[in-house]
Structure 1
């Protein structure tokens, strides 16, 4: 059996990675875990949460999957991408997918703006009535600075571990990402020591990459990466919609 751990971002919840998680469960019938990180979720409180708790939650989920599955993949979005790096450096996971991974710091006010744009794609003009928007708006406006410092602490702790990652790694980021700069993806690609790694930029994607215009293409890249056993060694691919068919 194949297991897949999907990790959401800072102030977020599993909804952020839901399109990917649902696809892998429904189409592939994999065992998919999408845990809600401590302090997150509808009733979450980030005030007294530490980044060690986020790391521990990700580790517990990973250990459970490793017990139950022959292969384990880890997919992380934004801060979840950095947690996925921690997992890949510590555990014998088979492949890693990093989506809009925040190797550089997130600005919570920018995240609110980005969320608005993502939800507009889902509900077409009914933004103020959408429960996800209202939930995230409240969470971001009420996010304590102590939680922001914990996020920054997690990133600082994980960065030195990137060179310990040997599992095949796929890094995907939107070219229109207003939260995490493109240099974050480049930084991860350069530091991760896997001999099998791909770097892809999606032309029309913002930060909430799983809910954007490139969603179908995103899922295609992830599925292809997770299913293909042989990846060209040391390949760096900067892929755009208009020319992706030219890249093997």
Structure 2
């Protein structure tokens, strides 16, 4: 009999219903995804800030995360996307509009949702998303994953002293190969993304290199693309010095996305002013 997996005490999902009295009467949902080998703790402060403004917020724990890297090695990109898609469907049922977003791999998963459901995604917010890399050792993953179960990981790439994302200290190679193998199809699908896009990018990122940004911003069909530089943060910017700016920029973005066909005034939505 297999022993039940132990879930990290900070890895519980975040689920907060909308408060339409704070958002001009409309129910707007926000789905945020954590990154590869991370867990909800890395983005909960971001989600909690938006929930405080009246938005419905969901921060799910992706399969294989928040437990152990060994358990994650038995999961794949499709498992992670499937969980996001399930939560997304629920948000769409309960809200008038849904914005999706995430950190690192979570941003890539959000972009896939936007590509597959352009009619249902009202906006996209990504922080240091990854859809490609210049690292040459990635090409060895198809072989390495059969020789080694894991390698030392990059965790807590955060400039703020004392911050902790509570991610895995090792990278499960089968899971990593699943993610990398999904990238080409995702990049090919990016032209189907039509929703407004807010792209938040750290100027120093020791995990995701500079290849993903031009691929994403140059491929999406969105006519509303805004890039914001995070000059004081490393990769896990959601827990870094620029976290307050991520909160503010996201609130501002949500205040204008989606559009308000009912003609509600801009000042009826949190984060805006006349």
**Is 1:35 aligned with 2:76?**
no
**Is 1:72 aligned with 2:98?**
yes
What SS does the aligned partner of 1:87 have? helix
| 1:210 aligns with one of 230, 235, 238 | 238
1:25–1:230 Cα change, 3 Å:
closer
Q: Please show how residues 139-178 of structure 1 align to structure 2 within 5 Å.
A: 139-141=168-170, 143-178=171-206
1:222–1:201 Cα change, 3 Å:
same
Kept in 2, the 8 Å contact 1:110–1:178? The answer is no
| Residue 109 of structure 1: how far off its partner (Å) | 4.8
2:78 aligns with 52
1:230–1:148 Cα change, 3 Å:
closer
- Cα distance in 1 for partners of 2:153, 2:233 equals 15
- Cα distance in 2 for partners of 1:230, 1:36 equals 26
Q: Please show how residues 204-243 of structure 1 align to structure 2 within 5 Å.
A: 204-229=232-257
Structure 1 segments unaligned to the other structure (5+ residues): 123-131, 232-248
Kept in 2, the 8 Å contact 1:121–1:212? The answer is no
1:94–1:117 Cα change, 3 Å:
closer
- Cα distance in 1 for partners of 2:73, 2:28 equals 36
Question: TM-score of the superposition, structure 1-length normalised?
Answer: 0.80
Instruction: Give deviations 1:156-183, integer Å, cap 9, x for gaps.
Output: 3311111100000111110011111233
Kept in 2, the 8 Å contact 1:173–1:182? The answer is no
| 1:181 aligns with one of 209, 226, 229 | 209
Question: TM-score of the superposition, structure 2-length normalised?
Answer: 0.72
Higher helix share: 1
Kept in 2, the 8 Å contact 1:189–1:197? The answer is yes
Q: Find the structure with the greater CA-based Rg.
A: 2
Aligned-residue RMSD, C-alpha: 2.2
| Residue 52 of structure 1: how far off its partner (Å) | 1.1
2:225 aligns with 197
2:16 aligns with none
Kept in 2, the 8 Å contact 1:175–1:182? The answer is no
2:113 aligns with 87
1:206–1:96 Cα change, 3 Å:
same
**Number of aligned residues:** 215
1:23 aligns with 49
- Cα distance in 1 for partners of 2:122, 2:34 equals 20
Kept in 1, the 8 Å contact 2:157–2:236? The answer is no
| Residue 121 of structure 1: how far off its partner (Å) | 4.0
- Cα distance in 2 for partners of 1:186, 1:72 equals 25
| Residue 9 of structure 1: how far off its partner (Å) | 0.3
